[in-house]
Structure 1
């Protein structure tokens, strides 16, 4: 995740510079269109009509370009928040912020074919690495999306959170094709995949397992073929000190 942070910082810098120039040009185009429209007043009606038609086109294009620029800006901000740039590696945080940031980044993957439902309980802050937890949520949500894609039909992903004693619990479930019983005890093994060599690397869930273990937590899966899957992550509010 440290490498991801550096990558995001570099991408944000490289995109923000030309994006700023583009936004400035769009603003200038809008101002010019307004001045041109004002100049038409008192001119020959036939000429004014043709120029106003061009002004309307410029105004519409300018608005569309401005909206697109704002969308790119939003994507960059979501990436920066996801990577937790300029934040301490380990800190007290509420996992809801990371889940919401990850969901925003994955809107394109969900599209209009997957309904995402969040059922958030009241959670205390936990001591963790927000970057790593964001990677955990990203991997689990992508896994759910791929399971739904493989099953076909309309998809549904539910993200539930709750607190129990000194732990925070995050459950991510889907209505995808489910996991065969003989695979349940292997899915967290590095390199294990049922997607084929050209599709999956078998590292996504292994990374999830590694991140959860690093936080002294546990990750469990419940699934039946054709009935979807549910991954439950339990994280201590504060990992115990090593003995």
Structure 2
């Protein structure tokens, strides 16, 4: 049995992970981006106001490596174009970090008492009640004052047309194409529960791969020990013959 043959289960497990989770991870990352973008200021509207060309946005998240926290950014334009068969191992790792290393979060603006200015921070959703509260805040942030609906024009203040076209089919709209508060709230809850389920699946798979690694390490150790015994036996035999 060769080393390549022993490593094959690990390689197959990794390929299975990519094939099984890529679309779910890509979708979850986009959902995270939508929540962050709609909870913040209308960046597209602001860009047009100053004469800047609107473009696809970025998703920021915090990756934790031991005790060290690192801010990372994903270009959503590139995420939209990713194809499963062409995605690199490094890119897949970053996408998994975006889903697993950080929780589902939105942008929260709180008042910094020291400077009397608003400061931006990430607000993580940890249960369904918080998902409902987030949906309420985002709806009020996006919809026109006193409106019962979010319309396409409202979303275009925050996202480019191509992204809005991806968002609208995700949320159950009325016959007029408008998004009610109830429909938006149900979608945010669905996003939270899907993200939670995906996180559990990734953790379970990570545990399974670690078990494969342990088995491979054990097998390799046994093989190395046997080879050592064989070499020692050969050396001993040669010594006795020459003596």
TM-score normalized with structure 1 length: 0.29
Greater helix content: 2
TM-score normalized with structure 2 length: 0.29
- Structure with the bigger RCO (C-alpha within 8 Å, sep 6+) is 2
